[in-house]
Amino acid sequence: MKHILRTIWDSQFLFFLSLVFIGGIYLLVKRPDVKSKSDLIEINGTLKSVDQVLVYFKKIKKTENDSTYHIRLNEFPCFFQVSYKKWDSKSFSKNAKYGDRITFNISKNDLESLFKFNERVRTFSIKSNDKVYLSVDSGLKGFGKGYFEYSVILIPLILLIIIVSYRLKK
């Protein structure tokens, strides 16, 4: 009985690790290839809506840092995601009005996503009414180097290799 339970546990854990590994690959593939300002393009539009989306579960204390923002423009069916700690979200929420002209910098890789309904497009800068709420430099710094995606791939892969090699030796 103990052997059967161990086999079930191992198979479910291996399945879970495989899903996390595949999810990490998906995140890495969907990540825009942005290293400098030359990889970005400027997009202009008219503000349609701003939604604050909490990214953590209900039990965790929600603060401004726990949020990501989805901004929609009249000209595009996609939504623009902003989730950087360094952007001035309070001032943007206070000053930006529906119908204002908004300027974003997005990855050149995301040009196709602009015209897909409910597709997420990551923004690297926000400017409205001659006020900069997120500078390009801050957006590029906040984007990071992809270490999270690599860790989501490597940790489950290493665990899978260890578990499978251990089971094969037995």
Which residue range(s) make up the domain with 6? 2-31+148-169
Which of 134, 151, 152 has the alpha carbon at shortest distance from 143? 134
| Contact status, residue 39 vs residue 17, Cβ threshold 8 Å | no
At 57 the pLDDT is: 54
Do residues 122 and 163 share a domain?
no
At 1 the pLDDT is: 59
| Contact status, residue 152 vs residue 23, Cβ threshold 8 Å | yes
Do residues 86 and 64 share a domain?
yes
Domain count within the chain: 2
Do residues 155 and 122 share a domain?
no
Do residues 68 and 110 share a domain?
yes
| Contact status, residue 65 vs residue 85, Cβ threshold 8 Å | yes
Do residues 17 and 67 share a domain?
no
Do residues 27 and 42 share a domain?
no
For 14, the token pair is: 């291996």
At 146 the pLDDT is: 74
Do residues 61 and 130 share a domain?
yes
Do residues 105 and 158 share a domain?
no
Do residues 123 and 90 share a domain?
yes
Do residues 137 and 63 share a domain?
yes
Kindly give the pairing relationship between strand 79-82 and strand 101-107.
unpaired
At 154 the pLDDT is: 92
Q: What is the pLDDT along the chain (170 residues), one digit of tens a residue?
A: 566 656 656 678 888 888 999 988 988 887 777 777 888 999 999 999 888 776 555 544 555 555 678 889 999 999 998 876 677 777 887 888 888 899 998 888 888 888 889 888 888 889 988 888 888 887 777 776 777 888 889 999 998 888 888 877 87
Do residues 27 and 93 share a domain?
no
pTM for the full model? 0.69
At 112 the pLDDT is: 84
Do residues 51 and 112 share a domain?
yes
At 2 the pLDDT is: 64
